[in-house]
Amino acid sequence: MANIGIDLGTTNSLVAVVMGGKARCLLDDHAKSMLPSVVRYDAGGPVVGKEALDEAPQFAARTFSSTKRFMGRAPADCGADAALFRYTMDDSEPRFVRFLCEGHAPVTPVEVASEVLKALRARAVECLFGEPGGAVITVPAYFDDAQRQATKDAARLAGLEVLRLLNEPTAAAIAYGLDQRASGKFAVYDLGGGTFDVSILDLNDGIFQVLSTAGDTHLGGDDFDRALAQYVVPDLAARSNAEARAILAAAERCKRELSDVEISEVVESDGSGTSTRSYAVTRVDFEEAILPIVERTTRACAQALTDAGLTAKDIDAVVLVGGSTRVPLVREHVAALFGREPFCDLNPDEVVAIGAAMQADILTGSSQLADDLLLLDVIPLSLGLEVMGGVVEKFIPRCSPIPMSASQTFTTHVDGQTGIVLHLVQGDRELASDNRSLGRFTLKGLPGLPAGIPRIKVDFLVDADGILHVSAKEEFTGIEAKIEVKPSYGLSEDEIEVMLESSIDNAETDVEVRMLIEARVEAEGILRALDKALRADRAMLSEESYQAITAVADKLREAHVSTDPADRKRINDLAHELDAVSAPFAQERIERDLTIALSGRAADVVGSELGLNNDGTKKPGPGAAAEEDATDAR
């Protein structure tokens, strides 16, 4: 059984396979490799591909295209997009996008994608004379966890086994790199129907490393179509759904022609296919209409170069991917941006599917293409955990290559804590509240040990598909919680950019606030521990030592509530002073505790003998999670 590679595109999808050591796209009955990612829901079942695309104007209310834009996203985030495509969102479902569909139950983008995947799978069955093995499916580099999960769900619905999700630009690099055995730094510029990605890749002896990625999930050939349609029909927004769709389709045809000829036309029809008017358009007119859209790719290219620590001069070759890179203005723009002619030997429509098929073949373990190909992609935003004081402990910094894992050990902050709430965040700001929350989960059933005793090891793993797995384990008791990270919805590239910009703008204040919070948390910990020790063992101190300690403790108690970052030094100084003045007392208690522990009694007995658990501090009931939701980094 051959493995297959699938490019699940916004506009078109393809399936490819390696046969006789060469990757090729599988063709339909009309010898076409591209299957329009368009689905119509008829009473007799879904109609997928060209027929659905061609007849979309007549069946607008039950035909869906470009739905990849909505994969894994919440309605609140993409209402504007839905309006743009004139889809009616099902308001009764706030958690995920669902479109109303004439004569059919509402449909989700995952269901639409699964119909496209089913059609590709059927094509593979026909061409390969049997079921394909597993599939490598490509996704835009900027797809976050929810969007990747949604893609996997669609594959599962279509009965496909997903071997791996692969970033589209990386797939293109595989196609080029393996064909040419080149080495150097490549920029992959991928402008498709609905998304734009740029990736900077380092290619060396057949090993790819993605140094950085940037992009815009709302930029592509669809925008060119709309710009051209609006150029010829300025009142496009006022037209009926059917009319607007027909004009957009005519603009798309005209756009394609203008890649080869200097003049073409947009033929307006009344929605039933009858031509009503025709507008002549020159390539110059078209370029004027789309220039602002093409220029929007510049910012992402600059960001990707900066993230990779490179300038345009360092790039050895630029690879073009996606149907929209056939537009001459786009090619000129890319050439000017990187100071060199782009590399476009392979068919830009097929290069991603070809790369995916090569990767799928390599995963069989018996590939003739390469046997030690290592593939590294990067994480677009840092991943971390909220710790005491609401600050973020970063586990995996942005632009880390994947797969990537990281672990840290934490402890509890309050005596008798039986549960810990771990809050996962994504972003680059210092405070958890300024980042995006990915989810919370609880490690329950801890035996209620004194603060500081439990050792909770938290592991982060971003797998080869870019999906985050988190697990937490208390090392003494072996109590474990594996976390299902269920992000409520994905981030758009714009949001990622806003988050990155704000993390840069706020870097200085963030760090100051973080340092103040850390100082306050540390002071709180010292004061809490000291109060507990004094309640239990006041008798061990002389009156003089007691007065000396409490005098500094009172000053620290007063100082540590400050919210002014300028007070951080005073808090730290007082904490150190308190540390120094109470050191002999701490030493004496430790020695006494050691003697008790060495006598062989269990930790909880020791704890209660030391008065640690009946000192009036809050002690959650068994099995209940403590309210304190932050852990304390060790």
Which residues carry out catalysis? 7, 68, 168, 190
Whole-number minimum distance, CB 93 to ligand AMP, in Å?
A: 28
User: What residues does 633 pair with on adjacent strands?
Assistant: 410
- If one asks whether residue 326 binds ligand AMP (CB under 6 A), the answer comes out as yes
With respect to ligand AMP, which residue has the nearer C-beta, 221 or 454?
A: 221
Site for ligand AMP contains 492 (CB under 6 A): no
What CA–CA distances, in Å, run from 116 to 13, 14, 546?
A: 8, 10, 76
CB of 341 to ligand AMP, least distance (A): 18
Q: Which of 5, 9, 75, 133 binds ligand AMP (CB under 6 A)?
A: 9
**Residue 582 in the binding site for ligand AMP (CB under 6 A):** no
Q: For residue 32, how many other CB atoms are within 10 A of its CB?
A: 14
Question: Does 177 contact ligand AMP by CB under 6 A?
Answer: no
Measured from the CB atom, the residue of 68 and 532 that comes closer to ligand AMP is 68
259 lies in the binding site for ligand AMP (CB under 6 A): yes
The mark string for 266-305 relative to ligand AMP (x by CB under 6 A, - otherwise) is: ----------------------------------------
Interaction between residue 607 and ligand AMP (CB under 6 A):
no
Site for ligand AMP in 210-249 (CB under 6 A): 220-222
Contacts of 365 (CB under 8 A, 6+ apart): none
63 binds ligand AMP (CB under 6 A): no
| Given 123, 152, 226, 255, the residue binding ligand AMP (CB under 6 A) | 255
Q: What angle, rounded to 10 degrees, do the helices at 283-308 and 221-232 form?
A: 150
Nearer to ligand AMP, 259 or 412 (CB): 259
x/- letters, 330..349, toward ligand AMP (CB under 6 A): -------------------x
The burial of 543, by beta-carbon neighbours within 10 Å (0-12 exposed, 13-18 middle, 19 or more buried), is given as exposed
Query: DSSP code of 620?
Result: P
Q: Give the binding range for ligand AMP (CB under 6 A) out of 10-18, 496-504, 581-589, 595-603.
A: 10-18
Q: How far is the CB of 138 from ligand AMP (least distance, A)?
A: 11
Give the residue with the Cβ less far from ligand AMP, 356 or 530.
356
User: Of 113, 120, 112, nearest to 28 (Cα)?
Assistant: 120
- The separation between CA 145 and the C-alpha centre of its own chain, rounded to angstroms, equals 5
- Can residue 324 be called a binding residue for ligand AMP (CB under 6 A)? yes
572 near ligand AMP, rule: CB under 6 A = no
Per CB under 6 A, the list member of 177, 193, 342, 454 interacting with ligand AMP is: 193
The residues pairing with 281 across neighbouring beta strands, listed in sequence order, are: 264
- Identify which of residues 252 and 307 has a Cβ nearer to ligand AMP in the complex: 252
Q: Minimum distance from CB of 347 to ligand AMP (Å)?
A: 10
Q: What is the DSSP string of 19-60?
A: ETTEEEE---TTS---EE--EEEETTEEEESHHHHHTTTTTG
Distances (CA, A) of 625 to 49, 171, 511, 619: 51, 45, 31, 10
- DSSP code of 343? B
Question: Does residue 199 bind ligand AMP (CB under 6 A)?
Answer: no
Torsion-angle region of 460 (φ positive above 0: left; ψ -120 to 50: alpha; else: beta): beta
Phi-psi region of 76 (alpha: psi -120 to 50; beta: other; left: phi over 0): alpha
Q: Which of 16, 47, 267, 327 binds ligand AMP (CB under 6 A)?
A: 327
Angle at 191 between CA 188 and CA 197, to 5 degrees: 55
Closest C-alpha to 304, from 169, 421, 207: 169
The verdict on 138 binding ligand AMP (CB under 6 A) reads no
Q: How many chain residues touch ligand AMP (CB under 6 A)?
A: 19
Token pair listed for 541: 């101190």
Supply the minimum distance, in Å, between the C-beta of residue 291 and ligand AMP. Answer: 15
Give the closest residue to 320 by CA, choosing from 310, 308, 303, 332: 332
Q: Are 360 and 369 in contact (CB under 8 A)?
A: no
User: Residue 43 or 261: which CB sits closer to ligand AMP?
Assistant: 261
* Sites of contact with ligand AMP (CB under 6 A): 9-12, 192-193, 220-222, 252, 255-256, 259, 322-324, 326-327, 349
